Amino acid sequence: MSQLLQASAEQENAEDSLSEEELNGNLFLFTAAGFETTANTISYAIMLLARHPRWQEWLFEEVDSLIPTGASEVPEYTSIVPRVTRIMAVMLETLRLYSPIIRILRTNDAAQELNTSKGMIQLPANSTVTINIISLHLDPEVWPDINQCSDPPWVAAENQVLPDESAFRPSRWINPDTVPRRLYQPPKGYFLTWSYGPRVCPGQKMAQVEFVAVILKLLQHHRIDAIPIAGEEREDVEQRLDKVMSGCIPKMTLVMEGIYDARKTGGVPIRLTRRN
Ligand code: HEM
């Protein structure tokens, strides 16, 4: 944003600088696009980790190897971020299941021919095309059973009721050691959480660093638990969390309904317990 302001201020002709309306528009875009998206992704990840606590144990292994217990040093970007794999996998899996932007709209000025795998599609001028990100991210022809070799052993023993593509299984993003790229690269066009092409999200890397920093610091000393309400058993808590997460609505970005109005709705009480 500061580079944009500087470039605008340096223009010799006033009409080449950004108008007040354009400045306000950009400020709004950066705030909404930069804040809501990442904040909600972190909220969903915390809910998923409270709902599936065994994945926290899996993350603790990575967190403790990155910052050994008792280490007083503040995590340092260049030494930590390139080594973070599991936290990134949790971020990608959260974004796959709960992408903050659930559809991308594009309108063409002129008539266009699209050459697709299903044949040629003629688009008249001013057609609006909606890309449905949710269905791409859950496509049963693409997502099931990827990288099962990276699963922690308890995954195979779990009685999984959901089809694999709908389940929270972050290890699907972790390639075996024999593959040079650490994280799974989905087929082109099937993971569009950041969009694609010339208008791809410019804040992608910043969001990743924010997510890693928050989850790393949170799990360095704490575990996340959903607090039972009024004598709930664990099974009741799980059902309640599933219900909250399935009650998502796309506002500016995808959000869990009622969760941010905690005074009225009660929200979802979460406890951070200090790890030993
Ligand atoms: C998890 C976090 C994020 C996700 C999932 C995300 C996703 C997206 C998507 C899908 C678009 C394209 C929207 C469209 O074309 O209709 C977009 C655009 C944009 N994002 Fe992000 N974003 C995230 C974080 C950020 C951050 C942290 C920033 C900046 C600090 C940012 C700044 C922008 C801007 C400025 C655009 C507009 C780009 C353009 O129109 O050419 N985003 N983002």
Domain residue spans in the chain? 18-231+247-274
Atom of ligand 1 nearest to the CA of 198: 41
Nearest CA to ligand 1 atom 41: 199
C-beta of residue 91 within 8 angstroms of C-beta of residue 211: yes
CA of 137 to the centre of ligand 1 (A): 18
Can you read off the two tokens belonging to residue 72?
Answer: 């007083």
Could you give the CA distance from residue 261 to residue 164 in angstroms, rounded to a whole number?
32
- Tens of pLDDT, residues 250-265: 888 888 887 777 777 7
- Please give the model's pTM, rounded to 2 decimal places: 0.91
- Tens of pLDDT, residues 81-130: 889 999 999 999 999 999 999 999 999 999 999 898 889 999 999 999 99
Count of CB atoms situated within 10 Å of the CB of 53: 13
Q: Which fold has domain 18-231+247-274?
A: Cytochrome p450 (1.10.630)
Is the pLDDT confidence value at 72 over 70?
no
Ligand 1 is surrounded, with C-beta below 6 A, by 29-30, 33-34, 37-38, 41, 95, 100-101, 104, 193-195, 199, 201-203, 206-207
- What is the model's pLDDT at position 47? 96
